Each structure stands twice: as structure tokens, then as C-alpha cells.
Amino acid sequence: MRIGGTHYRAIWMDGDPGVVKVIDQRKLPFEFRVYDLRSAKDAHEAIADMVVRGAPLIGVTAAFGLYLEAHRSDPNDWCQEVKEAASLLIAARPTAVNLQYAVDLVLNELNCAGSREGMVERLFHLAMQLAEEEVRRCARIGEHGISLIREIHERTSRPVNILTHCNAGWLACVDYGTATAPIYLAYDQGIPVHVWVDETRPRNQGARLTAYELGEHGVPHTVIVDNAGGHLMQHGEVDLVIVGSDRTTRNGDVANKIGTYLKALAAYDNKIPFYVALPSSSIDFNMTRGEEIEIENRKQEEVTYMEGWSEHLRAPHQVRILPEGSPAANPGFDVTPARLVTGLITEKGICPASEDGIKTLFEK
């Protein structure tokens, strides 16, 4: 993905086998800073503190974290160290299933009887392969999802207005993004699009990250407060909603960033198609329904404080926005029931949000 004309991915290696590089997403859009990971502990901190975030990216970061741990481990105790690192990483954030998916992928390959050198090599290739797979999945999501945008444009002969929530873009996914992949492809193919970007309180991933990504790519977009979507839908200003997912259960229920459910309700009431774009690594085939999903509760300070660019200080600056002492609650995700989801856009095609629908694409 382009930043100032240079192609970046959200995670990469740069010649040093002991260092994995990520973009520090806490600093965007005010500062572009590269952050080095050298151990599983670094990867854990980066995930927990949201240096990296977004379901596919935290999975890939965990896989690289386990490789780094094997690389730096004590030659006599390397396997135990990797296993302990796996438990640490899984606990970093509970809602996105991609973390479990990536850690399981590595643990299934871990052979404590084999040589450490061989295993370091194997874990390196596994992490690289997972990153490439996520990129390929997102590219395929784009190729399937573009049909929805093209159909609306051909029917209406005007720019297609798409609303999205949070950041399900390339920053969340190594490259392309999930919700954004069809949008980037449509834009690149000359289909006129305009994106309504929910700011996505409390951390403002929409205002800070999605707007940044779309702007760097040149995609027309407008940031709106989280409460504006319903109004815009009532007034015919939204043709299509596309969001991402942190965990989709077997029956098609979708956990995504807090506020997604309200957008789905408003879309349903206004008969606007509401699609969820997700790679199969975000489907929890072991979980029957959304009620079972653990919802992450994050710290109050994310609600009580807000960060932005101070024109006065010419630097990022935090301010308290609540009366001192007022408590705040901060559930990070909500579950949109399958009945409100028009369809799932996956790397294998578009299907209804239901067990039967998912089975048509993912036999196993």
C-alpha cells in the first residue's frame, strides 16, 4: 500500500533475522514511525498496546513473535520458551480469533524433538507464509467484493457511497485490507466511489487510520461522527455498508469494533445492503454463535481522554473530555446478529451469513 508514493506493508523484515518491523499505528496519522520487534514479549506488548491492531495483522504479528522467540531462545530450552510465548501471545487480546488461528498454526508445526535451527527456519517460513496468505485472501476479497460496487454504479450511474466502520484496511491486514479491498480495487478500475468513514470512538481508528489510508491512495472520503450514519442512510446518502470482522461464528454472527451493530440496525431499517468482508482466518469454525464470543473490555482512559494534533503545540496532544472522576465503560467490540448481515465477502466468494451459507464456500 502506498504512503507518500512508497509501497509499504503493515509488517515486514528488512535483512536482520532478529528484527521484525511494524508501523506504530498509535502515532498515525500525525507521525509515521517504524517500531522494531525482537521477541515474543515485544510482539505481545505491541498487540496489547495497539501498536499493531486489526484481526489479521495481530495474528501475523503473533506468528512472527513466535519465530523471534525461537530465534533468540536459549538453545537448551528453546521449545519450552516458544510454548510459553504462545500462551502469552494468545492472552494479548481476546476477541479476534486470528490470534488463536496463528498461534495454533505455529504450535501444530512445533516439533520439540527436532533441531532448534531447523525449527527457527520453519517458524520463519510459517510467519512469512501466513503474511502472504493474508495478503492473497484480502486481494481475493477485493476481487469478489468489487461486483457489489460495480452493480450499484451501473444501476445508478453515479458515484457509489460506501460507509465503513473502524479500520479494516491494509493497516489492519498486512496489505489491501478486508472492507477496503473492494473499494481500492473499484477506485483503481475507475469506478467512482466515495467513502463515509465512521470516526470510531474511542480510539478513532476510522478518523485516524482509515482516513489516512484512503487519503494516501487518493480515494474520495468524508469522516463522520459515529452517530451520523443513520441520518445519512435515511437521506439516501449511503448505497452500501462494508465492515470487517474480528470473529465470525459458524452461524454467521459477526463480532467487530464497537458500534458496528448500530450501523447494521440502521442499514436494515433503511434497506441498505450491509456486508462483512473477512478472510477465513477470521471465521471461528468451533464457535456456534455470537453470544459465545468474549468481548474485550479496554481501559477507561481510552474514553476519558482523546488525542489529536494541537495546532498550538505543533504536536500530538491528549485532553480529558469528561468531568474529573466520571467513570467510563469501554467494551471494545459488539456482535451483529447474522440476520442483519446481507452477506459475507470472503476470499472464496460472497455467501449468506448463515451456517449453510458458510458451508457452501468452506466445505470442511
Question: What does the binding site for ligand MRU look like in residue numbers (CB under 6 A)?
Answer: 53-56, 96, 166, 168, 172-173, 178, 205, 244-246, 256-257, 332
Cβ-closest position to ligand MRU:
244
Residue 31 or 49 having the CB closest to ligand MRU: 49
Residue 84 Cβ, how far from ligand MRU at the closest point, in Å? Answer: 24
Residue 337 Cβ, how far from ligand MRU at the closest point, in Å? Answer: 17
* Active site (annotated) includes residue 16: no
Residue 53 Cβ, how far from ligand MRU at the closest point, in Å? Answer: 3
Whole-angstrom Cα distance, residue 213 to residue 44? 25
Residue 98 Cβ, how far from ligand MRU at the closest point, in Å? Answer: 8
Question: Residue 279: is the preceding peptide bond cis (ω within 30°)?
Answer: no
Instruction: Give the count of beta carbons closer than 10 Å to the beta carbon of residue 313.
Output: 8
Residue 71 or 203 having the CB closest to ligand MRU: 203
Asked if 70 and 116 count as a contact pair (C-beta separation under 8 A), the reply is yes
Whole-angstrom Cα distance, residue 21 to residue 293? 31
The pairs formed by 233-236 with CB atoms below 8 angstroms and a separation of 24 or more are 233/163, 233/266, 233/267, 233/269, 233/270, 233/272, 234/270
Which listed residue (226, 246, 284, 334) is catalytic? 246
Residue 99 or 123 having the CB closest to ligand MRU: 99
Asked if 173 and 91 count as a contact pair (C-beta separation under 8 A), the reply is no
Closest-CA residue to 180 (of 208, 145, 148): 145
Task: Give the CA distances from residue 261 to residues 92, 295, 348, in Å, rounded to whole numbers and listed in that order.
Answer: 24, 13, 25
Catalytic residue set: 246
